[in-house]
Amino acid sequence: MRINHKQQQLIDEMFDKVKQRYPEIVFKDLQTSPDDPDHIWINVIADMDEDREIEMVHYSSELETDLLLDYGYAFSIMFENPNKVYV
Protein backbone atom coordinates (compact mmCIF):
# COMPACT_ATOMS: atom_id res chain seq x y z
CA MET A 1 0.00 0.00 0.00
CA ARG A 2 1.33 3.39 -0.96
CA ILE A 3 0.31 6.40 1.10
CA ASN A 4 1.34 9.90 0.16
CA HIS A 5 2.37 12.58 2.65
CA LYS A 6 -1.05 14.28 2.68
CA GLN A 7 -2.88 11.00 3.27
CA GLN A 8 -0.58 10.18 6.19
CA GLN A 9 -1.15 13.64 7.65
CA LEU A 10 -4.94 13.26 7.38
CA ILE A 11 -4.86 9.73 8.83
CA ASP A 12 -2.80 10.95 11.79
CA GLU A 13 -5.09 13.93 12.39
CA MET A 14 -8.26 11.83 12.19
CA PHE A 15 -6.89 9.14 14.48
CA ASP A 16 -5.76 11.82 16.97
CA LYS A 17 -9.24 13.40 17.01
CA VAL A 18 -10.93 10.06 17.63
CA LYS A 19 -8.30 9.12 20.23
CA GLN A 20 -8.89 12.39 22.13
CA ARG A 21 -12.56 11.57 22.45
CA TYR A 22 -12.08 7.80 22.94
CA PRO A 23 -8.73 7.39 24.70
CA GLU A 24 -9.18 3.64 25.07
CA ILE A 25 -8.57 2.99 21.36
CA VAL A 26 -5.17 1.73 20.23
CA PHE A 27 -3.81 1.99 16.70
CA LYS A 28 -3.29 -1.45 15.15
CA ASP A 29 -2.43 -0.95 11.47
CA LEU A 30 -3.54 0.33 8.08
CA GLN A 31 -4.92 -1.71 5.22
CA THR A 32 -6.75 -1.17 2.00
CA SER A 33 -10.36 -2.19 1.64
CA PRO A 34 -10.76 -5.47 -0.23
CA ASP A 35 -13.49 -3.81 -2.34
CA ASP A 36 -11.69 -0.54 -3.13
CA PRO A 37 -7.91 -0.18 -3.17
CA ASP A 38 -8.27 3.61 -2.79
CA HIS A 39 -10.17 3.21 0.50
CA ILE A 40 -7.83 3.03 3.49
CA TRP A 41 -8.90 1.33 6.67
CA ILE A 42 -7.43 2.56 9.96
CA ASN A 43 -7.65 -0.52 12.14
CA VAL A 44 -7.90 0.11 15.87
CA ILE A 45 -8.39 -2.02 18.95
CA ALA A 46 -11.33 -0.66 20.93
CA ASP A 47 -12.04 -2.25 24.28
CA MET A 48 -15.43 -0.66 25.04
CA ASP A 49 -19.07 -1.50 25.48
CA GLU A 50 -21.52 -1.61 22.59
CA ASP A 51 -23.09 1.80 23.26
CA ARG A 52 -19.69 3.46 23.26
CA GLU A 53 -18.75 1.60 20.06
CA ILE A 54 -21.86 2.93 18.34
CA GLU A 55 -21.08 6.45 19.55
CA MET A 56 -17.52 6.16 18.26
CA VAL A 57 -18.69 4.89 14.86
CA HIS A 58 -21.03 7.87 14.47
CA TYR A 59 -18.34 10.33 15.51
CA SER A 60 -15.66 8.85 13.27
CA SER A 61 -18.03 8.56 10.30
CA GLU A 62 -18.62 12.32 10.41
CA LEU A 63 -14.86 12.91 10.28
CA GLU A 64 -14.49 10.37 7.47
CA THR A 65 -17.22 12.08 5.43
CA ASP A 66 -15.61 15.49 5.91
CA LEU A 67 -12.24 14.19 4.69
CA LEU A 68 -13.83 12.54 1.67
CA LEU A 69 -15.68 15.71 0.69
CA ASP A 70 -12.77 18.07 1.44
CA TYR A 71 -9.85 16.03 0.08
CA GLY A 72 -11.30 13.15 -1.93
CA TYR A 73 -9.65 10.48 0.23
CA ALA A 74 -11.70 7.61 1.63
CA PHE A 75 -10.67 6.58 5.15
CA SER A 76 -12.54 4.47 7.68
CA ILE A 77 -11.87 3.71 11.31
CA MET A 78 -12.36 -0.05 11.63
CA PHE A 79 -12.50 -1.26 15.19
CA GLU A 80 -11.89 -4.62 16.74
CA ASN A 81 -13.01 -5.33 20.29
CA PRO A 82 -10.86 -8.13 21.72
CA ASN A 83 -13.29 -8.74 24.60
CA LYS A 84 -16.52 -8.83 22.61
CA VAL A 85 -18.41 -12.10 22.74
CA TYR A 86 -20.31 -12.97 19.57
CA VAL A 87 -23.39 -15.11 20.12
The answer to whether residue 85 sits within a structural domain is no
Burial class (CB in 10 A: 0-12, 13-18, 19+), 56: buried
Q: For position 12, which CATH number holds?
A: 3.30.70
The answer to whether residue 72 sits within a structural domain is yes
For residue 47, the tally of other CB atoms under 10 A from its CB is 15
What domain count does the chain have? 1
For residue 81, the tally of other CB atoms under 10 A from its CB is 16
Tens of pLDDT, residue by residue over 27-72, are 999 999 999 999 999 999 998 888 999 999 999 999 999 999 999 9
- Residue span of the structural domain in which 39 resides: 5-80
pTM of the model: 0.88
The answer to whether residue 18 sits within a structural domain is yes
The answer to whether residue 14 sits within a structural domain is yes
**Cα(83)–Cα(79) distance, rounded to whole angstroms?**
12
Instruction: Please give the pLDDT value at position 83.
Output: 72
Helix or strand (DSSP H, E) at 62: helix 50-71
The answer to whether residue 22 sits within a structural domain is yes
**Cα(33)–Cα(36) distance, rounded to whole angstroms?**
5
**Cα(75)–Cα(63) distance, rounded to whole angstroms?**
9
